[in-house]
Chain A
């Protein structure tokens, strides 16, 4: 792991992987959507509405996966002070927030025709909404400090504290009476979903994961470059050289 955590090596490796992950993500999601929307049967109970599942469920998986990844990277950043780990957590947050929002919106659209309500304060829905706010809080906290390393440290602690919410989301449907049904795929006794419907669902799940890898590498590359630029500017400012070209403000100058 440490071998790939070297920024220079990461830049080289990710440059080679970027087009492949992009292509694979697009192909998997296209195939999954086609199978889900056209190539799979309607549900015996829910009819055609069940097709919302092929976007809703993978989004919800990714919402939790991204947060777990973010908390893990934050822990590595806090304990081992690895610069790439902090940046990886930072790069993950907006992606996870988008997945969470997508899960909330598609869930609402699915809830109205099936349950008869857009929104209820049941344990599953409320805990996912809390997850969304945790992502937003994390992003806000990072940007609340003038010194980026201090922002990353504070946000990393928030990410770890908020991690308590992830098992609550997962097991909310088992611990309490909820309107939301229990898990269909990751549960004891194997999936309770027909193979013809499980296939497009898993395809979408893998597609979303590869998409996340692609966007994560893209964002992490940008973060690394931005950190380098910041370091260069700081060095210029410290050496007192009037090296900044006219028009550009050195980093320390703006609020």
Chain B
């Protein structure tokens, strides 16, 4: 019985230490693990001008405008701060106002000149009829709030 107990405690202590080590490493590298920053975080950081960076949030309602030559201008918001973005190229199918997006590029005079725009969708799945019914019954806004709380709005953004 003795060696079994010893091996059990050994494994348990080992796993505990390993978990603690993993947690410390992840906490230390938090900045390189996050895939994108929210507008609030971007504005709080003093970024070197030439640094490539990803900004994530929702495409602000009413901010999307098409400029000549396939260029689009829109604003990314986390409902607290907004970042203006310009992008030339093909947008993903899911791209639309109110949709979650991640844009990557460099800042030029306060505007993010993006060379890549990715769409981000939320964790809600439903048939179109259900979505329509929710919109009609007025529960959609409630749903949207829930979505924004979770999947769409970056973490660390203003709630």
Contact = CB atoms under 8 A, between A and B. Distances in A.
Interface string B41-83: 0000000000000001000000000000000000000000000
B56 A43 contact: no
Nearest to B56: A177
A245 to B, nearest CB: 41
A164 B18 contact: yes
Contacts of A187: 123
A46 B131 CA distance: 12
Q: Looking at chain A, what size class is its interface with the partner chain?
A: 35 or more
Interface in B1-50: 4, 7-8, 11, 14-15, 18-19, 22, 26, 30, 33-38
B123 A123 contact: no
B125 A177 contact: no
A79 B4 contact: yes
Nearest to B150: A182
B33 A176 contact: yes
A41 B128 CA distance: 8
Contacts of A184: 123-125
Contacts of B130: 44, 194
Nearest to B27: A175
Contacts of A101: none
B143 to A, nearest CB: 9
B5 to A, nearest CB: 9
Contacts of B37: 177
Contact of A45 (B36, B94, B154, B156): B94
Given A116-B117, A177-B36, A41 B124 contact: no
Interface residues of B: mostly helix, strand, loop or mixed?
Answer: mixed
A194 B7 CA distance: 47
A122 interface: yes
Contacts of B91: 116
A91 B125 CA distance: 36
B118 A45 contact: no
B123 A53 contact: no
A227 interface: no
Interface in B107-143: 116-132
Nearest to A163: B15
A143 interface: no
B102 interface: yes
B93 interface: yes
Contacts of B125: 43, 46, 50, 53, 184, 192-194, 197
A75 B7 CA distance: 10
B141 to A, nearest CB: 16
Contacts of A175: 26, 155
Contact of A177 (B19, B26, B34, B121): B34
A9 B5 CA distance: 27
User: Which 8 A-B pairs rank lowest in CB-CB distance, beginning with the nearest?
Assistant: A41-B127, A116-B92, A44-B131, A194-B126, A122-B35, A184-B123, A193-B125, A44-B128
Given A46-B125, A116-B92, A120-B118, 4 more contacts: A168-B22, A177-B36, A178-B35, A179-B36
13 contacts: A43-B125, A43-B126, A44-B128, A46-B94, A115-B94, A115-B120, A116-B117, A117-B118, A160-B11, A176-B33, A177-B35, A187-B123, A192-B125
